[in-house]
Amino acid sequence: MLTFVIRRVLQSIPLLLLISMILFGIISEAPGGPLTPYLQNPHITEADITRLKHNLGLDQPIPIQYLHWLGQVVRGDFGYSTSNSETAIAAIGDRVPVTLELMGSAIGLAIVVGVIFGILSAIKQYSWVDFSITTLAFFGQSMPVFWFALMMQLAFSVNGFTCCGYHIALPSAGSYSSDTFDLGDRIEHLILPTIVLSLLYLALISRFMRSSMLEVIHSDYIRTASAKGLTRFNVVMRHAFRNALIPLVTIIALTLPDLVGGAVVTEKIFAWPGMGSLFINALGQFDFAVLMAFMCLTAVFVVFSNLLADVCYAWLDPRVKYN
């Protein structure tokens, strides 16, 4: 296994270099280029722009610019952000914990609820439970995120709701109400964006879990386990559940990069100060350093997620061997 992991890591290096070349070329050829923030400043003259191009090496061919940028990245320097006068790594580092908080909550909720719903839907096939869960899954997959987020804000923040005689209105924006850390306040701010984000993942996981579980519970070894007199719970959880998880690993692994990328639409609607909001701001102001750092970091995490999925396959199914 260790040999396989090392080989995959070494194989990913040329892939990441190719991705960085493509990203660098596309962003460099965008209208305005990295100097877009300066071109919007009326106090900067044409001579200033020419001097900036020379100082930043932007008057050189793009392959030379890329090699210069790559040399800085190897040393851990992605450059300075033109929108907030700090390094790109520092700008991203400030947003990563907030994004991990939101996306971790959303994916964690989706995995727990989605797996439970998928199992119930499979063992109660064609019952009202199955139809209800399937309907909810189709709703989650087809519902536009921006519309659902706005409706949740309207229902639970603007109008509020009554519980146990108290009128409750959940926060509609931000990640906290004051600079002092308050766990209850942080949870209140997490509720709405977590529900909105988890709906799509929950729908996907429940559908895949149902399909995988139906395939497993009709296998011969499941019939044998039932014939031995094992309880329904032991048959499902000890024998069917682990094998049914194997196809689900791919879905979960493909959603892990969202932990880095953040949910752009949801974070923008709920004014969540995470990676998604940072990406939108950097894109609007054409912050070259932040855009490259953000997309390269996302590419690294996509490669890592696929490697993690392969390792999980071997752990879930001993028949899988990597030589």
CATH at 189? 1.10.3720.10
Query: Is residue 84 situated within a structural domain?
Result: no
Residues 185 and 256 in one domain: yes
Mean pLDDT of 173-200: 79
Helix, coil or strand: residue 162: strand
Residues 126 and 241 in one domain: yes
Percent of the chain with pLDDT over 70: 90
- What DSSP designation does 144 have? -
- Rounded Cα distance, 201 and 102, in Å: 14
Mean pLDDT of 109-130: 88
Query: Which of 21, 45, 74 lies at the terminal end of a domain, its last residue?
Result: 74
* Overall pTM > 0.95: no
Q: Which domain holds residue 144?
A: 95-316
Residue closest to 101 by CA, chosen among 289, 306, 276, 309: 276
Residues 207 and 251 in one domain: yes
Are residues 171 and 292 in contact, defined by beta-carbon separation less than 8 angstroms? Answer: no
Residues 194 and 249 in one domain: yes
Residues 241 and 187 in one domain: yes
More confident residue, 257 or 101: 101
More confident residue, 304 or 57: 304
Residues 178 and 142 in one domain: yes
Residues 140 and 36 in one domain: no
Query: Which of 18, 42, 74 lies at the terminal end of a domain, its last residue?
Result: 74
Residues 164 and 266 in one domain: yes
Query: Is residue 89 situated within a structural domain?
Result: no
- Rounded Cα distance, 285 and 93, in Å: 19
Are residues 103 and 259 in contact, defined by beta-carbon separation less than 8 angstroms? Answer: yes
Domain count, the chain: 2
Question: Cβ-count burial of 157 within 10 angstroms (0-12 exposed, 13-18 middle, 19+ buried)?
Answer: middle
Are residues 249 and 236 in contact, defined by beta-carbon separation less than 8 angstroms? Answer: no
Q: Which pLDDT tens digit goes with each residue over 55-88? A: 777 778 888 888 888 888 888 888 888 777 788 8
Residues 55 and 200 in one domain: no
Mean pLDDT of 177-200: 80
Residues 289 and 209 in one domain: yes
Lowest mean pLDDT among 9-13, 289-293, 305-309, 314-318: 314-318
- Rounded Cα distance, 240 and 128, in Å: 23
Question: Cβ-count burial of 282 within 10 angstroms (0-12 exposed, 13-18 middle, 19+ buried)?
Answer: buried
Alpha helix (H) residue ranges in the chain = 2-28, 36-39, 46-56, 62-74, 88-123, 128-142, 145-153, 183-217, 220-227, 232-234, 241-255, 258-261, 264-269, 275-285, 288-316
- Mean pLDDT (the chain) is 81
Residues 118 and 156 in one domain: yes
